Amino acid sequence: MRYQGTKINPTRYDRSQLKFFIILSVLGVFMVLPIIYIISTAFKPMEELFAYPPRFFVRKPTFDNFRKLFEVVQSSGIPLSRYIFNSIMSSLTMVLTSVVISSMAAYILSKKKFRTKNLLFEINTLALMFVPAAVQIPRYLIIEKLGLIDTFAALVLPLLAMPVNVFLIKQFIDQVPNSLIESAYMDGANDFFVLFKIVMPIIMPALVTVAILAFQTSWNTPDPSSYYINDDAKKTFAFFMSAITTRISGNTVQGQGIASAASLILFIPNIVIYIIMQNKVINTMAYSGIK
């Protein structure tokens, strides 16, 4: 595609791009600095953690913080693999169910016609304003009334309601031609066939973004294990790391080092998944912004 004889995405470098390169490079450095700091702090020896003036980069990297962290883990009665298994299973379940439920809700709000359609979408948009703490008590009451306390479902169900997922997917489904869906209906397809076989393959970038958001929410959040799970063997890795760092960190240098190592371990899966799926995320944000 050409515009006035110039490619929109040129393959060769041009001097006119220099200003954009400089601006984006500066912004990129500022965005990468927190990641570098997390990694650097996790490898700082004891004498550098509370050095004055504070040091951003580690000078003598060491694995002592990780070694001490695993020593604390081994002293607990439940193996670390159990917590990791619980987190993986709950996160995968969260991703699958969240993608399906959000897609079904977004498809109805986008392509179906009924009286309360706009009202429901406005409620979903309004829900974006609520922080998790504001709905913690209603969530607990629902889980308790359903008899799900101390069950695996309690790790997943409280996190399924993600209004941002419905919002993002709806922006993509709005761009799917109605004629394509009507043609499928004329050929005898039902709503489930249209959604899973036609619409979802088209909006795959949005689904990948929603999956990443759902994974991050489930993997990083210790709240379900804190509020709904009493059996330690059913709790997640995020809760275990949070409990360890809260118990031993305090104001001690050794505790701060262990807390930094635990934070890095929790952070690694998020950054790996984002790096792998970054193109899909960028496409989703571009389309939702255009909409």
Q: Which amino acid does the sequence have at 15?
A: R
Do 196 and 99 contact (CB within 8 A), yes or no? no
CA 127 to chain centre: 18
Q: How many residues does the chain have?
A: 291
Q: Quote the pLDDT of residue 131.
A: 78
Do 281 and 209 contact (CB within 8 A), yes or no? yes
Full pLDDT tens readout for the chain, 291 residues: 444 444 555 566 667 778 888 888 888 888 888 888 888 888 888 778 777 787 788 888 888 888 887 777 777 677 778 888 899 999 999 999 999 999 999 999 999 888 888 899 998 888 888 877 788 888 899 999 998 899 988 989 888 888 889 998 998 898 888 888 989 888 888 989 999 999 998 888 888 888 988 998 889 888 888 899 988 888 888 888 887 777 665 555 567 777 788 888 888 888 888 787 776 665 555 554 444
- The whole-angstrom separation of Cα 134 and Cα 137 is 8
Q: Quote the pLDDT of residue 126.
A: 87
Q: Quote the pLDDT of residue 250.
A: 55
Domain architecture of the chain: domains with CATH? 2-67 (no CATH), 79-290 (1.10.3720.10)
Q: Residue 106, class by beta-carbon neighbours within 10 Å (0-12 exposed, 13-18 middle, 19+ buried)? A: buried
Instruction: Name residue 6's beta-bridge partners.
Output: 3
pLDDT tens per residue, range 55-76: 788 888 888 888 887 777 777 6
Q: Quote the pLDDT of residue 281.
A: 62
pTM of the prediction? 0.77
DSSP code of 45? -
Q: β-pairing, 6-7 with 2-3?
A: antiparallel
Q: Which residues contact 256 (CB under 8 A, 6 or more apart)?
A: 49, 50, 249
Q: Quote the pLDDT of residue 248.
A: 64
- The whole-angstrom separation of Cα 269 and Cα 168 is 23
Angle between helices 253-290 and 18-42 (to 10 degrees): 150
Q: Quote the pLDDT of residue 108.
A: 93
For 70, phi then psi, to 5°, come to -70, -25
Q: Give the other-Cβ count within 10 Å of 145's Cβ.
A: 9
Q: Quote the pLDDT of residue 104.
A: 93
For 220, phi then psi, to 5°, come to -95, -10
pLDDT tens per residue, range 185-240: 888 889 899 999 999 988 888 888 889 889 988 898 888 888 999 888 888 888 88
DSSP code of 286? H
Q: Quote the pLDDT of residue 1.
A: 42
